[in-house]
Structure 1
Amino acid sequence: MIYSIERCTRLSSTNDWLKARAQSGAPEGTVIIAEEQTAGRGRLGRSWVSPKGGAWFSILLKPPIPVEQASCISILIAVSLAKALQEQWGIPVGVKWPNDLYVRDKKLGGILIELSSYAHKIEWLIAGIGINVNNEPPTETRVPATSLSREVGKAIALEEFFDVALTAIARDYERFLSEGFEFVHQEWSKLSVLPPRIEVESGTERFDADVLGLSPSGKLIVRVGESIRELISEEVTICQLQPS
Structure 2
Amino acid sequence: MRGVQRYHLEIKPAPPVIAWALFSGLTSFIAMSILGMITKYGAAIKDHHLPFAIAPAGASAVLLYGVPSAPLSQPRNVLVGHMIAAVIGTFMNQLFIDSPESLRWLPGALAVGISIALMGLTNCYHPPAGATAYLAGFYSADYVRVGWWFALYPVLPVFLIMISVALILNNLARVYPVYWFTAVPMASIIPLAEQKTNVAQIPVQDEESLRSSVDACGASQVDDHIENEGDADSAWMAARIHELEHELYELRAKQHRDETARLQTPHSNVV
TM-score, structure 1 as length reference: 0.26
User: Higher relative CO (CA 8 A, sep ≥ 6), structure 1 or 2?
Assistant: 2
Greater helix share, 1 or 2? 2
TM-score, structure 2 as length reference: 0.24
Greater strand share, 1 or 2? 1
Of structures 1 and 2, the larger Rg is shown by 2
